[in-house]
Amino acid sequence: MRQIGIWMDKKEALGVVYEDGKESEFSIASEMDFYNPKGGSRSKTKWGPQDVVQDSKYLEAEKHQMKRYFQKIIDEVQGVDQLVLYGPAEASGKFLKELEENHVQLANKVKALEKADSMTSNQFKATVREFFKIDAPL
């Protein structure tokens, strides 16, 4: 049985795989650009023209980058029997929504979506082992 736990945010996804009594890890960087658009500039004259910031182009670029990031994760977890997702923010929820909309078979293998702040590698492994009730490897 192949069981995978994934902790993810917008920067990276860390995964631990348990299969046939063996433990392995993977890490996937999101390669997302973190836009911090500056506000519009103000004219020197009162009530003068302002430059408009086009948030829509930043949001559209982020949406496409998230899709590529999610596809990398999906490619990594093919053949999974049970999957549990962790994350501090909305990235794990968006990933689950992507699975439910476009990868229904994989979405059915998700056993839980849990909120979790950043953890050390050992804490994450222990959390996943506890969830799947796996004995710690020697």
Query: Is a pLDDT exceeding 60 seen at residue 43?
Result: no
The pLDDT assigned to 39 comes to 54
Asked whether residue 95 is domain-assigned, the answer is: yes
Print the domain residue range for 58. Answer: 2-132
Residue 49 domain flag: yes
Q: Tokens at residue 29, please? A: 């960087």
Give the confidence band of 99 by pLDDT, cuts at 50, 70, 90. very high
pTM over 0.85: no
In a domain, 46, yes or no: yes
Classify 19 as helix, strand or coil.
strand
CATH of the domain at 21: 3.30.420.60
Average pLDDT score, the chain: 86
Number of domains in the chain: 1
Q: Which residue, among 31, 33, 26, 9, has the nearest Cα to 119 in the 3D structure?
A: 9
Whether 18 is covered by a domain: the verdict is: yes
Q: Which residues of 20-44 are buried (b: 16+ CB within 10 A; e: fewer)?
A: eeeeeeeebebebeeeeeeeeeeee
> Does 37 map to a domain?
yes
Q: Element (H or E) spanning 5, and its range?
A: strand 2-8
Note whether residue 137 is domain-resident. Answer: no
The two beta strands, 12-19 and 110-115, are unpaired
